[in-house]
Amino acid sequence: MELVPDIHFKRITAQTVIPICKLSETLSTAQRKMVSDNAISIAQAHFADNAWMRAIYADDMPIGFVLLHTGSDYDDGIDCPGIFLWRFMIAGPNQGKGYGRLALKRLLAQLQAQGIPELYTSCGRGESSPEGFYKRLGFEPTGEMYGDEIELKLTLSQAA
């Protein structure tokens, strides 16, 4: 029986920023069209007043990146009534192992503990779209759009 690693979040530091940025290179061409490179996401987060970002680790190995937007900010292109999952990625070699689901479950537990009632996100449709992944976790389309991406919402009390 394979042991499940400890999936957790760590701050990105001057020592870890390059490995976290390089995780984007492990995605397929189609996936890279669905999510911005981590370097772009980290840069955007540094200029956004409402950003919270972390590297995702499996034990001591960096495997992904998460970026939340915690307040509506028209300048950032996010006009959302709550917390918005701005970016989420798991490196290619670590996909299909349940790590993304575990990372989001950990994030959802943190948000619930803070009294956050719902989490929004958006995603493109087509090849390599994460829409199915989000829907399996309980996200539902709101009918709204972010540019050419559909908006999804998860009510945290109903989270899978």
Question: Can you count the helices (H) and strands (E) in the chain?
Answer: 5, 7
CA-to-CA dists, residue 15 to 18, 91, 128, angstroms: 7, 19, 31
Structural domains present in the chain: 7-158 (3.40.630.30)
Calpha distance 96→98 (Å, rounded): 6
Displacement of CA 39 from its chain's centroid (Å): 14
Tens-place pLDDT, residues 114-156: 999 999 999 999 889 999 999 999 999 999 998 899 999 999 9
Average pLDDT, the chain: 92
Tens-place pLDDT, residues 12-24: 999 999 999 999 9
Is the distance from CB of 26 to CB of 93 less than 8 angstroms? Answer: yes
- Residue bearing tokens 């006009």: 79
> With bands split at pLDDT 50, 70 and 90, how would you rate the model's confidence at 77?
confident
Residue 98 has pLDDT above 90, yes or no: yes
Stated as kind and residue range, the H or E segment containing 131 is helix 131-136
Calpha distance 154→139 (Å, rounded): 4
**Ordered strands of the 51-58 beta sheet:** 7-10, 51-58, 61-69, 83-90, 118-123, 149-155, 140-146
> With bands split at pLDDT 50, 70 and 90, how would you rate the model's confidence at 157?
confident
- Residue bearing tokens 């995780």: 23
